[in-house]
């Protein structure tokens, strides 16, 4: 990876936070087609995963304990089975909505303006934000819906492998591709899922025949 690009991105403060916010935003947009709510969701999720590093010391822990418990479970590879009271499920994520319909965390609303200030304007220093958005959409489109709708799988297969290289690849190669081993892993999982479905259908057919 080009060390000059890495140094430039670091100097400009462009890193994992912006990658997470962008990928989560296009993930939301992919299913709901609402650019403003997508930006709110993207920033909300970036804050959610990074709050301990960026915001934890500035807000009372009592406001964040529910979010932190959910975050720990996802990072351990456990999808929350039920969202806490006051939260709603969006793409498998437990989030709060403000009265204006944007997402919030710790009592703080994440607006499209906030997203642009913390993500778009920083990205603009190295690449056209619209181009980055389109390339991010192209990147996530290479993953099946069952991965994009699951927060654990999204974090593990979509975000984590390129969290430190997304913008480097975009600037040096004009595209971002999933690592080959990730695609092979997902293809293997899909075959296992399909095989399991066929087995379940066969079992149901057998049970139905026995009953008749």
Q: What is the pLDDT of residues 97-156, one digit of tens each?
A: 999 999 998 788 999 999 999 999 999 999 999 999 999 999 999 999 999 999 999 999
Return the pLDDT at 57.
46
Q: Are the C-beta atoms of 29 and 41 separated by less than 8 Å?
A: no
Kindly report the three-state secondary structure assignment for every residue of 48-70.
HHHHHHHCHHHCCHHHCHHHHHH
pLDDT digits (tens, 9 = 90+) for 42-100: 999 999 888 755 554 454 444 456 777 777 778 787 876 788 888 899 999 889 999 99
- Name the domain count of the chain: 2
Range of the domain at 196: 179-212
**103 shares its domain with 17:** yes
Q: Is residue 93 located within the same domain as residue 131?
A: yes
Q: Do 111 and 137 belong together in one domain?
A: yes
User: 42 or 201, which is more confident?
Assistant: 42
């Amino acid at each position: 990876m080009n060390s000059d690009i890495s140094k430039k991105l670091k100097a400009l403060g462009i890193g994992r936070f912006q990658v997470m916010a962008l990928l989560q935003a296009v993930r939301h947009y992919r299913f709901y087609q609402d650019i403003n709510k997508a930006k709110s969701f993207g920033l909300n999720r970036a804050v959610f995963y990074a709050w301990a590093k960026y915001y934890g010391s500035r807000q009372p822990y009592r406001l964040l304990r529910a979010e932190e418990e959910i975050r720990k479970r996802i990072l351990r590879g456990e999808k929350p089975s039920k969202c806490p009271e006051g939260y709603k499920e969006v793409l498998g994520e437990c989030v709060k909505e403000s009265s204006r319909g944007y997402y919030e965390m710790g009592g703080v609303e994440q607006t499209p303006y906030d997203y642009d200030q913390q993500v778009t304007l920083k990205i603009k220093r190295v690449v056209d934000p619209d181009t980055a958005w389109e390339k991010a959409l192209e990147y996530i489109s290479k993953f099946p819906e069952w991965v994009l709708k699951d927060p654990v799988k999204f974090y593990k297969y979509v975000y984590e492998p390129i969290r430190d290289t997304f913008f480097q690849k975009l600037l040096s190669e004009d595209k971002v591709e999933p690592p080959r081993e990730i695609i092979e892993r997902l293809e293997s999982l899909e075959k296992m899922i399909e095989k399991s479905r066929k087995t379940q259908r066969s079992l149901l057919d057998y049970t139905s025949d026995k009953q008749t």
